[in-house]
Amino acid sequence: MNTEEIGYISKTHGLKGHLILRLNELINIDEEAIKSVFLELNGSQVPYFIEECRPNNTGYILKLETIDSIDTSKKLIGKKAFALTDFILENSDSLNEFIGYSVIDSRLGNIGIITDIDEKTDNPIVKVIHSTGVEIILPFNDDFIIEIDDDQKTIQFESPEGLIEMYLHP
């Protein structure tokens, strides 16, 4: 039985024991098929069967068997949540594979290495650390990417005029 941490219980919802499950970044669950979650209590993963699971704006609203009042649900706030790996969906769209790649700008040459990618919005951004230590934030979309070389771990990039210079020469 393999479980993986998927998030935590962030707060209660309503008066009948519903909980908000906040997922870790880049984790998706099969809300239709998931039957149980495991909550970490006193160092052990305790299984809870799910009566109801529906998405909301910060994660999922869960109704767990045996949790039927706000008083019992409050005791679970902050607990880490785990799920069987069968119910965790692979995120094949994640851009994290590009962390560590060098960004080569068409005008300025090698501007640095990607240290982070923020995919929370429809327009992902990359954080690049320049050799001077300056952090440069760039839009990561097809309009500016010329070529990605997985062997060399480089991304040929054509930045909008003045964008990179704005960080290097404030």
Domain of 75, CATH number, reads 2.40.30.60
Count of domains forming the chain: 2
Given 89, 121, 141, the domain boundary residue is 89
The one-letter code for the residue type at 20 is I
The predicted pLDDT at position 154 comes to 94
Looking at the structure, tell me whether residues 161 and 103 fall in a common domain.
yes
Q: Check: CB of residue 154 under 8 Å from CB of residue 137.
A: no
Report the alpha-carbon distance of residue 78 to residue 62 in Å, rounded. Answer: 14
Tell me, what DSSP letter sits at residue 74? H
Each of the 170 residues of the chain gets a pLDDT tens digit; together they read: 788 899 999 999 989 999 999 988 777 888 888 999 999 999 999 999 999 999 887 789 999 999 999 999 999 999 999 999 888 876 655 677 788 999 999 999 999 999 988 877 778 889 999 999 999 999 988 889 999 998 999 999 999 889 999 998 87
Looking at the structure, tell me whether residues 7 and 85 fall in a common domain.
yes
Residue position matching structure tokens 């062997």: 151
Given 89, 108, 128, the domain boundary residue is 89
Domain, as residue range, for 162: 96-168
The predicted pLDDT at position 134 comes to 93
Looking at the structure, tell me whether residues 81 and 117 fall in a common domain.
no
Contacts for 92-100 with beta carbons within 8 Å, 24 or more apart?
Answer: 94/26, 94/119, 95/119, 95/124, 95/126, 95/140, 96/26, 98/126, 98/140, 98/148, 98/155, 100/153
The predicted pLDDT at position 93 comes to 58
The predicted pLDDT at position 85 comes to 86
